[in-house]
Amino acid sequence: MPEPEVYDFYIKEIIYRFNNRWKFRDITMRHQLPCEYITLTPPPQHLPVLKIFLDIYVDDFGTYRNVYHSLGGVYLQLGNMPLTLRKQLKNHFLIGFVPFGAKFNDFIEPVLQDIKRLEKGLIMQTLNGNAFVIGSIGCVTADLPQGNDIADVKRHNAKYGCRSCNVPNDQYTNIDYNYIKNARFHQQTEKQFIEIKSQHSKIDRERLATKYGLLIEPGPFKMLKWDRHLQIPQDPYHSMAGKARTLFEGAFNIFNTNGENAFIEYWKNIEKPSHWYRMPNPVRYRQSFMFSDVLRLTMLMPFVLRRFLKPYHIKKEVLNNWNMEQNIKQNSAVLKLCTCWAIEAKVLKLAFSNTMTESVYQELQELLKREYEILIQLFSDNFTNLPNLHVNVHLLQHARNFATLLNTAVGVKEMVHRIFKNMVPHMNCKVIELDLTKRYNTLQALRHLIDGWTDPRFSTRTNALNNINTDPILRTIFSGWYATESLSITINNQKNVEDERDDSITVCHDENFIDISFSNKWNNKKVRSMGLSKKLDADHPFFRDLYEAYTGFLDSKATLLNKNLEFYGSITYTVIKSNQDNIQIKLRVGDVVELCEETEGIAYAKIASIFRHQANNGKYYAFFSFNWFQATNTFDPVLECPLYNIQKPEESRWFQIFPINFINHIPYVHFVHNCTNLCNVEHDETNRGYILNKFYYNAV
């Protein structure tokens, strides 16, 4: 028959892929598009339209050390901001604290009523004139139990306690359970609530609610236009870090006494990033570790195990059990455990990536599957039917819905939460929620003034607080309150004038590098121990490299008149970025940095020394001396990390001295010595091999 000119399409089924097989499901088993259940108010034609994405974060914390009194914190963020702004503490807005004994639903209801008004649109005055502003809940972030409460789903210890699908609690880690077909859909949940409400007796309502895994009645969020199952994603921060903490429990429990002692010894001597604070003994005090500590420890765990672990460090009953049930021989048990930790570290880094592409989504899906398989194989008692492991199957969809998992993770929000926790001991402990709110309002008012804003209600002529940002000391203190790793520091013109009068001030030929300061000055003994000298020797390669640095980068070809050098252990300076926050960089001797190189693209070097030299013009300039890493184009067979060799002290074919403007960002790179049997407490100096830690990232 010929094709008709007019006809309609009716889609009745959806084809999808699950466990490498094609399957079908009914068209009703899907998440509705927003246009199917949301009707927008037409905006005025003469006004621009602004849309606001609201992100609400909810968490409880115990206010007292010995007695648990839960105080709930509720915070708001604007999802329209880029990630760099959302990471700043000043852009986390406190809605309020749920008082002791109060219910969250009663507290949040007035806030939701205001949001409901915003859904219809409001005419607001902005810096660019009036605008029609529309906003609503984009997502609600919370940990696993509180997220279920807000989604009106029973908690994970119930029969059906997942807010994303209808999996029974005894099937959480069943790899064959079809979580796609059995997903929870908002329109179906609404019908189930109507059915529960229609029951005549309380017993029938409770029975039906238990059957569906729902609360007896929905919470106050029902008044909004939203999808509870899509817009309350599973929190990757709590689920992933909680899963890593469970792995630590399983791993440390299989060590015998010799294994624990060996782990502690090698943990103390493993190379750690210099800006990390010192962590306590992981074997004894791991229960007190925060999630950020757990994530950091996971980055190093594969390298620690790779260095020391032998079969005799593992309990015999564990080895026998692995041999009988999993057919894992003693010789391959160590390799299997190191591989397990390498996969876990790789999953965590990928899950907290700043950007994700289609290839990253696919790699994440594959790694999550490998992680599930090896965790169930080695630590079945710890991970079977663990809710955190079940969350794995939903993380990929959350990453696609919100571009990255980092957008819905609560790592930085937990740091905001910790600020208020640390305030509690300094209060009278009576009306804590009121005291905390007052302190927050005071800090936000100071931040408002520091950012240069004015209040039309007050006279700018007599208000001394408007000049608070001219004090460099106060500016640094207040900027540290709400800054992330990139601290924003205002340049003080008066200070610069005073600095110019100081002949000993250190400058940079690049005017975007300011506020240069040193610490931990080396004495003669320290300088000699490093194979250096405070006097330049014209026959030494150090003199040649310094002269080349002046010639190539500072455009000074004159003979170096001053032969004196001053060496330091660390340096701090500020980099001015156009249209961005200024970056404060602190580097120490021994830190590894990444630099752009013409032939290799990105090259890695270890800071061998930090020094300053007085040029012929009388000004002091700061320099780095580098030891370069050379790629071997090979990988560690277990960790799958690239191997490098660091240059020998006598090698001089690479220039080693560069001005400080070669490092204009905070480095995020970490190398670990590729130890052999000759390495004990001290590394074997003849072994120049290093491993690039591909699991390293900024945890929070």
The pLDDT tens digits of the residues spanning 397-424 come to: 999 999 999 888 887 777 776 777 777 6
On the question of pLDDT at 301 being above 70, the answer is: yes
Report the pLDDT averaged over residues 142-161.
90
Q: What is the pLDDT of residue 428?
A: 63
Q: What is the pLDDT of residue 116?
A: 93
- Pairing mode, if any, of strands 566-575 and 601-614? antiparallel
Q: Report the alpha-carbon angle 601-275-647, nearest 5.
A: 40
Q: What is the pLDDT of residue 643?
A: 94
Q: What is the pLDDT of residue 318?
A: 93
CA dihedral over 401, 406, 409, 412, signed as positive or negative: negative
Sorted by sequence, the CB contacts under 8 Å of residue 509 that are 6+ apart come out as 553, 554, 555, 621, 659, 661
Rounded distance between C-alpha atoms, residue 352 and residue 395, angstroms:
11
Sorted by sequence, the CB contacts under 8 Å of residue 188 that are 6+ apart come out as 28
pTM, 2 dp: 0.85
- Pairing mode, if any, of strands 620-635 and 506-507? parallel
CB 345 within 8 A of CB 695: yes
Closest CA to 588 of 123, 273, 301: 273
User: Is the pLDDT higher at 611 or at 559?
Assistant: 611
Do residues 652 and 537 both lie within one domain? yes
Query: Do the domain assignments include residue 373?
Result: yes
Do residues 523 and 636 both lie within one domain? yes
Query: Do the domain assignments include residue 605?
Result: yes
CB 7 within 8 A of CB 92: no
In the chain, % helix, strand, coil (3-state, to 5) comes to 40, 20, 40
Three-state DSSP class for 241? helix
Do residues 548 and 662 both lie within one domain? yes
On the question of pLDDT at 376 being above 90, the answer is: yes
Rounded distance between C-alpha atoms, residue 54 and residue 77, angstroms:
6
Backbone angles phi, psi at 343, to 5 degrees: -65, -45
Query: Do the domain assignments include residue 455?
Result: no
Identify the domain boundary among 388, 408, 428. 408
Closest CA to 63 of 108, 104, 97, 27: 97
Q: What is the pLDDT of residue 430?
A: 64
Helices assigned H by DSSP within 58-185? 83-86, 104-120, 144-150
Q: What is the pLDDT of residue 253?
A: 93
Q: What is the pLDDT of residue 1?
A: 59
Q: What is the pLDDT of residue 168?
A: 94
- Pairing mode, if any, of strands 49-62 and 129-141? parallel
Identify the domain boundary among 367, 382, 408. 408
Query: Do the domain assignments include residue 85?
Result: no
Q: What is the pLDDT of residue 65?
A: 54
Placement of tokens 């989504």 in the chain: 361
Rounded distance between C-alpha atoms, residue 424 and residue 390, angstroms:
36
Kindly state the tokens that stand for 514: 């300011």
Rounded distance between C-alpha atoms, residue 660 and residue 622, angstroms:
6
Q: What is the pLDDT of residue 310?
A: 92
Q: pLDDT band at residue 547, thresholds of 50, 70 and 90? A: confident
User: Is the pLDDT higher at 691 or at 490?
Assistant: 691
Rounded distance between C-alpha atoms, residue 257 and residue 260, angstroms:
5
Three-state DSSP class for 254? helix
Look at the chain and report how many structural domains it folds into.
Answer: 2
Query: Do the domain assignments include residue 287?
Result: yes
On the question of pLDDT at 70 being above 50, the answer is: yes
On the question of pLDDT at 79 being above 80, the answer is: yes
Q: How far is CA 272 from CA 266, 267, 633, in A?
A: 12, 9, 24
Q: What is the pLDDT of residue 344?
A: 95
Do residues 515 and 634 both lie within one domain? yes
Q: pLDDT band at residue 602, thresholds of 50, 70 and 90? A: confident
Do residues 266 and 397 both lie within one domain? yes
Beta strands in 10-82 (DSSP E): 13-18, 21-26, 49-62, 70-78
On the question of pLDDT at 468 being above 70, the answer is: no
On the question of pLDDT at 587 being above 90, the answer is: yes
Q: What is the pLDDT of residue 495?
A: 40
Do residues 549 and 665 both lie within one domain? yes
The pLDDT tens digits of the residues spanning 90-125 come to: 788 888 888 777 888 999 999 999 999 999 999 998
CB 344 within 8 A of CB 298: yes
How many of the other CB atoms lie within 10 Å of CB of 689?
A: 14
Pick from 332-341, 417-426, 447-456, 515-524: least confident: 447-456
Kindly state the tokens that stand for 74: 């509720």
Do residues 387 and 510 both lie within one domain? no
Report the pLDDT averaged over residues 171-188.
92
- Give, for 160, the enclosing helix (H) or strand (E): none
Query: Do the domain assignments include residue 379?
Result: yes
Q: What is the dihedral of CA 215, 217, 220, 224, to 10 degrees?
A: 100
Do residues 392 and 282 both lie within one domain? yes
Report the pLDDT averaged over residues 288-302.
90
Running DSSP on this structure, what letter comes out for residue 414? Answer: H
> Which amino acid would we find at residue 473?
I
Do residues 542 and 655 both lie within one domain? yes
Q: pLDDT band at residue 686, thresholds of 50, 70 and 90? A: confident
Query: Do the domain assignments include residue 690?
Result: no
Give 641: exposed, middle or buried? Use CB within 10 Å, 0-12, 13-18, 19+: buried
Q: pLDDT band at residue 284, thresholds of 50, 70 and 90? A: confident
User: Is the pLDDT higher at 54 or at 502?
Assistant: 54
User: Is the pLDDT higher at 496 or at 34?
Assistant: 34
In the predicted model, what is the mean pLDDT of the chain?
A: 84
Q: Give the per-residue SS3 of 656-694.
A: CEEEHHHCCCCCCCCEEECCCCCCCCCCCCCCCEEEECC
Do residues 388 and 275 both lie within one domain? yes
Q: Which domain holds residue 328?
A: 236-408
Identify the domain boundary among 408, 424, 446. 408
The pLDDT tens digits of the residues spanning 481-521 come to: 443 333 333 333 334 433 333 447 888 888 889 889 999 99
On the question of pLDDT at 476 being above 60, the answer is: no
On the question of pLDDT at 690 being above 80, the answer is: yes
Report the pLDDT averaged over residues 338-344.
95
Do residues 388 and 516 both lie within one domain? no
Do residues 530 and 648 both lie within one domain? yes
Q: pLDDT band at residue 279, thresholds of 50, 70 and 90? A: confident
Q: What percent of the chain has pLDDT over 90?
A: 45
Rounded distance between C-alpha atoms, residue 282 and residue 263, angstroms:
9
> Which amino acid would we find at residue 678?
L
* End-to-end Cα spacing for the chain: 64
Query: Do the domain assignments include residue 600?
Result: yes
Q: How far is CA 504 from CA 479, 524, 543, 612, 620, in A?
A: 27, 20, 22, 11, 7
